[in-house]
Amino acid sequence: MKNPFSDLFILDFTHVYSGPYCTMLLADLGARVVKIERPGSGDDTRHYLPFKNGESGYFAYLNRNKESLTLDLKSPEGKRIALELMKKSDVVIENFSAGTMDRLGLGYEAAKAVKDDIIYASISGFGQSGPLCHKAAYDIIAQAMGGLLRLTGFPDQPPVKVGVSIADANAGIHMAFCLMAALYQRDHTGAGQYIDVSMMDTTMSVLENFVMQYTLNGVVPERSGNEHSASAPFDMYETKDDYVAVATGNNTQFSRMQAAMGMDIMSDPRFAENTLRRKNYKELRPILAAWMKEHTTADIVALFDRAAVPVAPVLGIDELVNHPQIRARGMIETQHHPVLGDLEMPGFPAKFSTMQTPVRKAAPLLGEDTDAILSGVLGLDEKTIAALKEKHIVEQHEKG
Amino acid sequence: MKNPFSDLFILDFTHVYSGPYCTMLLADLGARVVKIERPGSGDDTRHYLPFKNGESGYFAYLNRNKESLTLDLKSPEGKRIALELMKKSDVVIENFSAGTMDRLGLGYEAAKAVKDDIIYASISGFGQSGPLCHKAAYDIIAQAMGGLLRLTGFPDQPPVKVGVSIADANAGIHMAFCLMAALYQRDHTGAGQYIDVSMMDTTMSVLENFVMQYTLNGVVPERSGNEHSASAPFDMYETKDDYVAVATGNNTQFSRMQAAMGMDIMSDPRFAENTLRRKNYKELRPILAAWMKEHTTADIVALFDRAAVPVAPVLGIDELVNHPQIRARGMIETQHHPVLGDLEMPGFPAKFSTMQTPVRKAAPLLGEDTDAILSGVLGLDEKTIAALKEKHIVEQHEKG
């Protein structure tokens, strides 16, 4: 069966994390993703750790299955090539500050003028409208403005950001969904469109019930460490040798938990029901914490797993990458990279029964696919390409 | 222009957060989402805070634009109705523990037998395969097993989970993307399929460069509070009256920042470049922290905004909901609910130029659409429906 994604041509002006995560997912599905990079230095993440032999593992992970074309967008010839490529594109995607692509003459109107049904996608910190649309954002700024930073951390400690750039990733996956929705719409109506995703909006969108606590009851929720507002225990504890996460949502689970611990806690009327355990958790916690501190994480996990009590070790990255579940799911894939060698990286984050999502091609070296794209997609001849290279409108680095 | 999503019929067996967030996005686009609920109590989140007049704002937010049918799936008639509805469905989605739908006789094979091109989507803690596939998960368990919990928090404090159930939301939005991809595939090939999304896999998928630090260099990264491994300052500080987040990624931004502060920091060779500022951040932080502590958050934000330095107040939920940017983007929508009254909630997290995504219908009361679905979709007559109600196979609550 032919893969219908292989007919999709995506012109990708994104850099760093949010956009590249989005287009990685589309490339994994089989779409042709042509990444436009700045001549000379390329995507910033080519210079982000981790490194080996001078190449970045950050870039290599997020840009597998893509092609690279360097293009000087500020030169008239570079801009013309970009517009020629837009003519052939199903999707254009960018994550510059709002207004940048318009100033380059490469915004939605310019793209639509050369390809009427183009789907044009912009990811930005605060969106393409509103008083803050031109404000610059990094992940921590979006976590702070989206309400997430203040909600994370222990109540007696300052707020702490999510340890990874989740505001970026979250905007990227929301855009991947929106792009597929727009492609569905185009297939059924013939119409393209513009999509505007903001990191502030998408962060607010995943705040569970916290916005509703305010709009419904006027309550301003505060951070609560590892605890949950509805259930107890739903927490992390120190063990004899590390930490353990434990969550029970009802009496059945808690009853199995106390049995596994060899204790009777529920006969105390303060702890007889989930709502009471939540209400009296200040008194319940020390009882559980003392027991956890006397046992190793491995022992607690084995014991609670046997009793079907939701439990987990707090995995470090080494334990995660080597975990039997991750390995059984094939979630770590190996791809040979010309500079980095055999490289292990996270695979596509879902399993389809009829669609393949392999890491089939290493991330491109800067400008690696310049000739293939200019000749194969735009039909430029060798002489024209050579002239463009001489003027540094495009640049092609040799394969290592 | 007709909305092509209105032709999509989604049979939604999901509960709590991950699945309902996924189907909320599809319902917002215009798909018909029929939510199957347990007679008597319905989705657990009908009993999660916040409450008003006995109704849950948690449920009302995540289930707007959907219909509710109560159905006793353990009864033969309930199962038969579920299969009849699958015949009419484009998509079936569920987030029970792995194997539950199969045991009910409502798994993918059963669905495919009645609708050959069905798209069947399962969200679970650890996926449908591997040694942990039957292990129960709550959000904190998935954060712990996905590597996120250990990476979040201050280095001298225990790990802390992301304050909201991000492992749930993240699995849900990944599934929304996968569903649209499967619909695209179906449109182009005629084939349906099974989709398996796990909270552990999708959590690992958004760990930025942290997996690569280990697979490329054998480094096991640890949590680092509000700091970033590549840039400094990229941090949160205490101010005179609260906190502020500040991020500079290059010399231009830092130079503007020190000018705004009326200080010269970069002439100190330890702080002349971003890499040096990152390397010597232990010495740089106290200098910046002392200045921040002398100024209010509002003053710092105004000053840095004027200087185009990425900066943010650490917004509480009240400030977020009332923020001019959120309001200008229409990101808080009001929908009248029969019990809760006029209810403010987050809107669809993206803007399309040609597609509408309004909150057009309040979340259903338990079983509110029973008659409409049984009669309108399955063509059952009044007498048959009355008999089903008498046997509590279905239940319909009166509209308040």
Q: Once rounded to an integer, what is the mean pLDDT over residues A87-114?
A: 97
Query: Which residue in B131, B140, B163 is closest to A325 by CB distance?
Result: B131
Give the pLDDT confidence of A183-203 residue by residue, as tens digits.
999 999 999 999 999 999 999
For a pLDDT cut of 70, what percent of chain A falls above it?
Answer: 99
Distance from CA of B84 to the nearest CA of A (A): 23
> Does B358 contact chain A (CB < 8 Å)?
no
For a pLDDT cut of 90, what percent of chain A falls above it?
Answer: 95
In chain B, which stretches have pLDDT less than 50? 400
> Does A383 contact chain B (CB < 8 Å)?
no
Q: What is the pLDDT of residue B398?
A: 58
DSSP, residue by residue, B2-53: --GGGG-EEEE---TTHHHHHHHHHHHHT-EEEEEE-TTT-SGGGGSS-EET
Give the pLDDT confidence of A214-260 residue by residue, as tens digits.
999 999 999 999 999 888 999 999 999 999 999 998 899 999 999 99
Query: Which residue in B50, B187, B220 is closest to A213 by CB distance?
Result: B50
Q: What is the pLDDT of residue B18?
A: 98
- Determine whether the interchain pair B151/A163 forms a contact, defined as Cβ–Cβ distance below 8 Å: yes
C-alpha torsion angle, residues B96, B102, B105, B109 (rounded to 10): 120
- Determine whether the interchain pair A245/B187 forms a contact, defined as Cβ–Cβ distance below 8 Å: no
Q: What is the pLDDT of residue B275?
A: 87
Domain ranges of chain B: 4-206+326-390, 234-238+243-313
Give the pLDDT confidence of B153-200 residue by residue, as tens digits.
999 999 999 999 999 999 999 999 999 999 999 999 999 999 999 999
Query: What is the SS3 assignment for B221?
Result: coil
Alpha carbon distance B235, B238 (integer Å): 10
Q: What is the pLDDT of residue A400?
A: 43
Query: Which residue in B180, B210, B328 is closest to A180 by CB distance?
Result: B180
Level-2 CATH architecture, domain B234-238+243-313 = 2-Layer Sandwich (3.30)
pLDDT band for A398, please (50, 70, 90 cuts). Answer: low
Distance from CA of A259 to the nearest CA of B (A): 18
Q: What is the pLDDT of residue B230?
A: 80
B4-206+326-390: CATH class: alpha beta
Which residue, B227, B170, B156, B162, is CA-closest to B203? Answer: B170
**φ/ψ (deg, to 5) at A246:** -135, 135
Domains A4-206+326-390 and A234-238+243-313 share a fold: no
Locate tokens 């200080």: which residue? B263
Window B:259-318, CB contacts with A under 8 Å: 305, 308, 310-318
Do A30 and A2 form a contact (C-beta atoms < 8 A)?
no
Alpha carbon distance B261, A213 (integer Å): 38
Looking at the predicted structure, is the pLDDT value of residue A360 above 90? yes
Q: What is the pLDDT of residue A134?
A: 94
- Determine whether the interchain pair A215/B351 forms a contact, defined as Cβ–Cβ distance below 8 Å: no
- Chain B residues near residue A311 by CB distance under 8 angstroms: 141
Task: Give the mutation candidate from B207, B208, B345, B359 for the A interface (greatest A CB count, under 10 A).
Answer: B208
Per the prediction, chain B carries an average pLDDT of: 96
Q: What is the pLDDT of residue B400?
A: 43
